[in-house]
Structure 1
Amino acid sequence: MAITPDEKDWTWVLERPCPECGFEAGSVTPATAASSLPSLLARWRSVLRRPEVAERPSEERWSSLEYGCHVRDVFEVFNQRLSLMLEEDNPLFDNWDQDQTALDRDYARQDPAEVTVELLAAGSEIADGFAAVRPEQWQRRGQRSNGSAFTVQTLSGYFLHDIVHHLHDVDG
């Protein structure tokens, strides 16, 4: 059963702490995003090893496996966006329909062991990407098709909030 799509614009988390998970994205830099990821990846590994990983807590909420698949894909999408921002001047990001991706990739039926391997690899790759960003590159810009503009620094906070928030969603 499909989940109702989340159509909120979450960019507000760059201006104030998230009332759900408590994360303060506005204080994140590429360096802190990179250094935070190893412990977050360990927590995701633990979540994906749970016996009930594929069970939805309710019809309206993804399972931990589905959230893990989403986070794996977040790593890949944001790694692409980070690379674009470092290589091009003010790139326009391709649209990403995360809900359609969940359906197309059939998140609910993926193998948790394979998802774990892919999530850890993609998470390590983006951690390396953020670690390689030099401070003089933090203000490089990019934007989504809806007009939301990011710098490399704000992208790092927006990205890291997503990872932390979804750990909160799965009690990880």
Structure 2
Amino acid sequence: MSNEEIQPDTKDWTWVLSQRCPECGFTATDVDGPAIGGTVRDLTPRWVSALHRPDARVRPAPTTWSTLEYGAHVRDVLRIFDGRLELLLTQDDPLFENWDQDATALADRYDLQDPLVVADELADAAEVVADRFDSVADPQWDRAGRRSNGSEFTVLTLGQYFLHDVVHHLHDVHG
């Protein structure tokens, strides 16, 4: 199983903030900020279950990540977006550090990780980010920050964008 057969994703997925995702059906504008934490908690058991499947390490095709690889990615998404949310809540107009998800997948050998360990780590990271979203006070939902490519996010749109990733990849693994 080689990560090198996967083509890097070069899409700018910020379009999901304004339109329904045709692949997974997620509509960001349907998600209210205060619901983000609870939605993450609702999705977590489905991820844990998927990672416990006997075929979690098996790629459905050479160029498609396995459930394990998607799970490791989502675990890291949960951690990265928790850090970005913390920046938005504690700094004025923070600039988010770049994260190369494909380089991380290769460097951390997502394909060789233990699916049961990843399931536990994903559940832990989900609880942390869900708690942080639950802690957002009403006036904080409009606090803004930026990615290095200039894309601007508020706490709300960051949460909606992040949630799409969790939902979309759950769709990818039929979770």
Is TM > 0.5 for Structure 1 vs Structure 2?
yes
Matches within 5 A, 1:1-172: 1=2, 2=4, 3-172=6-175
SS of equivalent residue, structure 2 residue 142: coil
Q: TM-score, normalised by structure 2?
A: 0.97
1:33-72 CA-partner distances (Å, limit 9, x unpaired): 1111122001001100100000000011000000000000
SS of equivalent residue, structure 1 residue 142: strand
Deviation at 1:28, TM superposition (A): 2.0
How far apart, CA to CA, are the structure 2 residues paired with 1:6 and 1:52? 24
SS of equivalent residue, structure 2 residue 38: helix
How far apart, CA to CA, are the structure 2 residues paired with 1:60 and 1:154? 30
Q: Percent identity?
A: 55
Deviation at 1:146, TM superposition (A): 0.3
Q: TM-score, normalised by structure 1?
A: 0.98
How many residue pairs get aligned? The number is: 172
Runs in 1 of length 4+ with deviation above 6 angstroms? none
Structure 2's unaligned 5+ residue stretches are: none
Segment of structure 1 superposing worse, 30-39 or 159-168? 30-39
How far apart, CA to CA, are the structure 1 residues paired with 2:100 and 2:173? 21
Deviation at 1:110, TM superposition (A): 0.2
CA contact 1:67–1:166 (8 Å) conserved in 2: yes
